[in-house]
Chains A and B, each alone.
Chain A
Amino acid sequence: MTATPAAVAPPKNASKVESHRADAELPMAGEPAVPFLEIEALRAREFIPAAKEALTDLIAEQGQSKLIRPVFNWAGRNSLFPLHWGLACCAIEFAAAFGARWDAERFGVVPRSSPRQSDLMIVNGTVTWKVAHKLITLYEQMPEPKWVIAMGNCATGGGPFRTAYSVVPGVDKLVPVDVYIAGCPPRPEAMLDGILLLETLIRERKE
C-alpha cells in the first residue's frame, strides 16, 4: 500500500462524526480554522508528513504562539493519562471502564502507575483525612498541566459518609476539581462522559 499524500482535509463523514460531540467547534471561535485539528485520526505513516505540512504552513501564516496552544490542547485531550489508583468502591467502576466492555482506551485514556507520568487524577472513592495529605502529595507530583475528576458522591461531597468523623467532605477541599461525576457509584458510561466533558474543557483552554 502506498503512502497517501498528506490528508489535511477532513474525511467526508467528519462533520457527521463530530456533530454529536459537544466540542464540534474549533478551539478558537472566530479565528481562521486550523485544518490540522480537524483530523480525527491518521495512520502513523501519514501523520508526520501531514503534521509537518500543516505546521509549516500555519506557522508561516499565523505565527507560532497562536498555533502552539491548540496543538497542545489537541494532543493533551486525546492522551489523558489518569493516575492508576483506587480509594473505595468507585475504583471498581473505574477498573470496569478500562475493561473490554467499555474500553476507555478508545479515548486515549491509559492509566499510569506513577504520578510523574499522569496528567489526570481521578479521585474514585471516599477520601479520608488519613489519606488526604498523601492525595495532595500525589497531586503535587503530577506534572503540569494537570486535571482532577471527582468521581462519585464521596469524592464530590462526602457522599453517604459526609458527617463521618474520618471523611473529607469533598475532595475539592484538598485539590482543585475540574469535573464532578455524580452517582454512587457512577456507571462506567458516566465516567467516560466525565472524561469527554473534560476533553471539551481542555479544547477550550486558552493559557
Chain B
Amino acid sequence: MATATAPATDTHHDAHDPHATNTGISNNKLAMWLFLSTECLLFGALISTYLIYKTRGSGEVLPTDLFDIPFTSVSSFVLLMSSLTMVLALSAFGRNDLDRGKAWLLVTAMLGAVFMGGQAYEFTAFYEEGLGYTTNPAASAFYTLTGFHGAHVSIGIIMLMSLWVAANQGKLTGKNSETVEIVGLYWHFVDLVWIFIFTVIYLIPPE
C-alpha cells in the first residue's frame, strides 16, 4: 500500500491488497469513471444539437409530432429495471453465488435487447410516418442522438454477454466481481443518459 512510511526496500508489501493504489481505487474502476465523465460531454453535445434543431422541420413532420409517450414509457421502464437486475448480478457475484449472478446477467442483457427492440420499432414507425433520417435537421438530430444511445446499449449487451460466457467458462467468479462492477457502471450510465433523454426529449412537450 502506498504510504509515505513504506520502507524503501520493501515494495512488495501489501501487493495482495486489491486497492494498493494511491487513491485506493483500482485503475480499472477509476478509468471507467473518468471515461463516463467524458461521455457526459459527448451526450451533452448530441442532446444540445437536438434541442437547437427540434423545431427546425422546414415544413415537414417533426419527431415531436410522432412521439408515442406510453410506448416510450414502457421501454424506459424496461431499461430502468435492467439497472436493478445489473446490480443484483453484481451482488450475486460478490457473494460468489455464480448461478444467480449468471442468471441476472442474462436477464439484464435481455432487458437491454427488449429496449433495443423498442427502439427499432420506434424508428420503423417514425420512418413510415414520413420521418426519414434526412428529412430535416430535427429528424437528423433525433435519430443521431437516440441512435448513439442505442449503440451504447448494444455495446453494453455485448459486454454483458461476454461476461456471461466468461462466467460459464469459470473465468469469472466472485474473486473478480470488480469486472462485473465496471461493466455495471457503464450500464447504469447508459440508463442514466436515458433518464435524461426521456425527460428532456420526450416528456417536455413543445410550447
Q: Do A and B bind each other?
A: no
Identify the B interface with A (CB < 8 A).
Answer: none
